[in-house]
Amino acid sequence: MKGLVYIDGQILPAEEAKISVLDLSIMRGYGVFDFLRTYQKLPFRLWDHLKRFEASAKEIEIPLPLSMNEVVDVIEQLLEKAPYPEANIKIFLTGGQSTDQYLPEDRPTFFALVYPVRIFPKEMYEKGVGLVTEIYERPFPACKSIHYLPAIVAIRCAQRKGAHDVLFLSHNKTLLETGTANFFGIKGSTVVTTGEGIIFGITRQVILELLEEQGISVEVRTIGYDELQTFDGAFITSSSKEVVPVVQVDDISFPLHPLTITLMKCFSAYTKSIESPFQKVL
């Protein structure tokens, strides 16, 4: 794939960058990451992503070998060298190499990757997508870990059924999140979304802010599976896909709601108004 990687103080083509086979990210799936993208070649909500990255590392007890200001410097260097109109950015922190191949030894591995933004099909936004449900609760739900096994298996299964993604449910059959995005429902003039057992997406937060600006009622609460039948519409949000209409969950169908279309336009306008996020923390 096209891409540039920062690792061990160097910037290399992605295909040349390497980490040890003894790294705990490979041996045990122990690590965290964050993902963001640029608009007008500027990283979107950079400091929100960095705060989440830092919190994820703290939750699973991986010490950060760089300060947040140093991480910002790395991202700046990568973007200066990246020859892409817009870029995706991933930052990783792993448990590092381990003598016993099990427990970390406080030698974490940090690396960062930039690569071209993926353009999703227009049909996804114009016609909406379908989801299928599956019961699964992520351990450490607020931590953006590299452990994606359940999501990968579930999404592949969902796609074989003709769906776009999987909508995870708690063991009590309450709505959580999809394999790659946050989920929102629309009931009358109110937007509902869950506030626990999920990763707190940055695009989700922007949408909540835009809804508040628009004076639209929002309920952040537990949502039972049966409540899906009362929805007038639904959508998902993520850094890569932005705002995507949902028109079906299992055998429950929704129209493509006008509010979803409005939010898609509002989010697009918001991304065009951002200023440089490269201010450092003193």
pLDDT at position 281: 58
| Distances 275 to 43, 266, 281 between C-alpha atoms, Å | 10, 17, 16
28 Cβ partners below 8 Å, 6+ apart? Answer: 95, 101, 102
Taking only the tens of pLDDT, the chain with its 282 residues reads: 689 999 999 999 999 999 999 999 999 999 999 999 999 999 999 999 999 999 999 999 999 999 999 999 999 999 999 999 999 999 999 999 998 999 999 899 999 999 999 999 999 999 999 999 999 999 999 999 999 999 999 999 999 999 999 999 999 999 999 999 999 999 999 999 999 999 999 999 999 999 999 999 999 999 999 999 999 999 999 999 999 999 999 999 999 999 999 999 999 999 998 777 776 654
Supply the CATH classification number for the domain 123-271: 3.20.10.10
Domain parsing of the chain, residue ranges: 4-116, 123-271
pLDDT at position 282: 46
CATH class of 4-116: alpha beta
pTM: 0.95
Q: Do domains 4-116 and 123-271 have the same CATH topology?
A: no
CB 94 within 8 A of CB 146: yes
